[in-house]
Amino acid sequence: MNEQRTRLFGLVAVLGGVLSVLVAVPGRWYGVPQTDSYVFHPDPFSPLWIQRAVIPGLTAVATVCLVAGLLGLVLRDRPVAGRWRRWGGVGAVIGLTFAALSVVGLTYLSTGRGAAEGATADLLSLAAGGIGVLVFVPSLVALVVGYVLTARPYPGYALGAAAILTPYFSYIGLENVGGLVATLPVGAAWVAVGIDLWTHPAPVPRPDEESAES
């Protein structure tokens, strides 16, 4: 993959990281009213309209950008990658793609459908997400190990920190900001990956890779 395309993937990764944090900002922070009554037709460009009409679209875009950013990292280093990075990268991209399909499905597929069709769409989306997690987690571990063993381990550190901190922050929960805090490690990791793709468009030299992962 040429350097210009690698840098483009880097920009996409940074965009995905930033958007993933923005969409997790609690609605009340930008004025969404806390009420038990449902407003069917919120005013255009009002905080409630932004939450219902804009945030789902940004969530889908962020998810696609996260997948593309990880794909760019894998493609950049594919010519010199050892077993850990090669197979871990492929599995991580596949797993994250299934998770992305789950997010998009839960966001859009059940909208405007009947109860039965909506439930089926939700179940399929959840199944895709479950498969994605099962494939993504062990693959990400392999990918992180592969990068930590190389001469440029920073993507591995970033992804590894996200893999540890995200479930931890999700578990402990923080009142009213738990989702945002849990998303911060993911956003930071993908920004770090994007910066690495931009500043180092060439892969790790083969001699270093072979000596580290042999």
How many distinct structural domains can be found in the chain?
Answer: 1
Give domain status of residue 105, yes or no.
no
Tens digit of each residue's pLDDT (9 = 90 or more) over 57-114: 999 999 999 999 999 999 999 988 888 999 999 999 999 999 999 988 887 765 555 5
The pLDDT assigned to 113 comes to: 54
The pLDDT assigned to 118 comes to: 65
Report which of residues 70 and 202 the model is more confident about. Answer: 70
> What is the spatial distance between Cα 62 and Cα 22, in angstroms, rounded to a whole number?
9
Give domain status of residue 99, yes or no.
no
The pLDDT assigned to 37 comes to: 64
Look up the domain containing 162 and give its range.
3-91+137-213
> What is the spatial distance between Cα 82 and Cα 150, in angstroms, rounded to a whole number?
10
CB 191 within 8 A of CB 14: yes
Nearest residue to 98 (alpha-carbon basis) of 78, 126, 72: 126
Tens digit of each residue's pLDDT (9 = 90 or more) over 112-166: 555 566 677 788 889 999 999 999 999 999 999 999 988 889 999 999 999 999 9
Tens digit of each residue's pLDDT (9 = 90 or more) over 52-67: 889 999 999 999 999 9
CB 72 within 8 A of CB 197: yes
Give domain status of residue 124, yes or no.
no
DSSP 205: P
Give domain status of residue 102, yes or no.
no
